[in-house]
Copies of this chain bind each other. A is one copy, B any other.
Amino acid sequence: MPDTNPLRLGIAGLGTVGVGVVKIVRKHAKLLEARAGRPIEIIAVSARSRDKDRGVDIARYDWEDDPVAMARRDDIDVLVELMGGSDGPAKAAVEAAIASGKHVVTANKALLAHHGQDLAAAAEKAGTVLRFEAAVAGGIPVIKALTEGLAGNEITKVMGVMNGTCNYILTRMEATHQGYNALFEEAHKLGFLEADPQLDVGGIDAGHKLSLLASIAFGTQVNFDAVELEGIEQISLRDIEEAAEMGYRIKLLGVAQMTGRGLEQRMSPCLVPAASPLGQLEGGTNMVVIEGDSVGQIVMRGAGAGEGPTASAVMGDVVDLARGLDISTFGMPASRLVPAKPATAAVPAAYYLRMELEDKPGALAKVAAALGEAGVSIDRMRQHGHQNTVAPVIVVTHRCSRAQIDAAMEGLAKTPVVKGETVAIRIEEV
């Protein structure tokens, strides 16, 4: 018989997402009960400051200063962890909840990217369920699609644009013809950046998400450390404009792929065709592309962050638990997840290179020689303005490996006519 008692929540964290969850539970109490087959009730809440005005009335819920104590309360069934952080109170509260037999719903990608394997194993052992739809791609129900809807597929590839802030900066650079720093400042002023901006612009946050998707897709243990990470700080307005002229846009793109040499996971700026669905993504919108052996390609698009979309994802997990969903965190028991052998950019690609070149006879030939020595052949080359003594040169290579590009960059660094660092951006023909 299905359980018809209320599902009792303890919510740890009343920031953007936590407040969003409280609002949905209140606004849609009847609808949620009809869908879940039982009432969904908030019993207790916890945050740092009890007195902060949060725009919702929390006086009706029990207050806990300590989220760990809340996690252990006998009168809650589910800990909803919305504090954030890979360690500290979030980890402690989730562990306490599991240890005392509670289910957990979290939006915390950092926590899961670092401790997902252990937490999943602990939840399994305790017979509880740990879910994290909101941790990846905001409102898009992609964890559900991958663990459940596409469970009949061997997944061959997962790709995604999953950091709205980076996408905002990159699309605004193109729209406003301003450089990276100006748009970084704009994003900062709008409150789009995490307290530690490296999490966003360094690709770490998106890398966390990719490592979680990869684990589910390939049945491997989460291995965030193996994600090749590259941020967007090096992307200049020139890169964006050169890309546009060639029919491309630059996106911080994550790719996870099982190759003959192992699991490739990379999160890096890429040139993608401007007319492709990924190329057309604007601002904070996320997109995830999943390829499976039976289903072919599935594309999902939606808001990647924000109060409503993220709370929607949290509530999807909560309703699942109310309905009695019993599923392993990463789609199969933690004990069956295998360690993934990391493979670095195993799949070859064409690359876009930008370098500053002294404008004197024979300089281009030296660049070509350095590339040739690394086995990199040139598809197209373009030199700009001769008015200065140093002029930017753009090279598009034929398909080659990342190792060859790295060797070429080393060679270029030793070529005296090349000034400063060469920027290399992968071209992904999605």
| Chain A interface residues toward B at CB < 8 A | 2, 20, 24, 28, 31-32, 34-37, 133, 139-141, 144-145, 147-154, 219, 277, 280, 292-303, 308-309, 311-316, 318-320, 323-328, 331-333, 336
Contact = CB atoms under 8 A, between A and B. Distances in A.
A296 B327 contact: no
Given A24-B152, A141-B298, A149-B313, 20 more contacts: A31-B154, A34-B333, A139-B294, A139-B296, A141-B144, A141-B149, A144-B148, A148-B148, A151-B316, A152-B312, A152-B315, A294-B308, A296-B308, A298-B300, A298-B302, A299-B299, A300-B300, A300-B301, A324-B324, A325-B325
Q: Is the interface of A mostly helix, strand, loop or mixed?
A: mixed
A140 B294 CA distance: 12
20 contacts: A2-B326, A20-B294, A24-B294, A34-B219, A37-B332, A37-B333, A139-B295, A139-B296, A145-B145, A150-B312, A150-B316, A152-B315, A152-B316, A153-B315, A277-B277, A294-B309, A294-B312, A296-B309, A299-B301, A300-B300
Nearest to A293: B308
Contacts of A331: 35
Contacts of A139: 294-296, 298
Nearest to A140: B298
Contacts of A35: 147, 151, 331-332
Nearest to A149: B141
A32 B313 CA distance: 26
A109 to B, nearest CB: 17
Contacts of A32: 151-152
Nearest to A316: B149
Given A31-B154, A139-B298, A298-B140, A292 B312 contact: yes
Contact of A152 (B2, B34, B297, B314): B314
A161 to B, nearest CB: 14
Nearest to A292: B312
Contacts of A147: 35
B141 A148 contact: yes
A295 B308 contact: yes
Contacts of A301: 277, 298-301
A333 to B, nearest CB: 7
A303 B308 contact: no
A29 to B, nearest CB: 11
Contacts of A37: 328, 332-333
A160 B275 CA distance: 21
A331 B219 CA distance: 29
A403 to B, nearest CB: 32
A141 B326 CA distance: 19
Nearest to A34: B332
A275 to B, nearest CB: 8
A147 B320 CA distance: 10
Contacts of A150: 141, 312, 316
B294 A148 contact: no
Contacts of A277: 277, 280, 301
A296 B292 contact: no
A166 to B, nearest CB: 19
A133, A151, A280, A318, most chain B CB atoms within 10 A:
A151
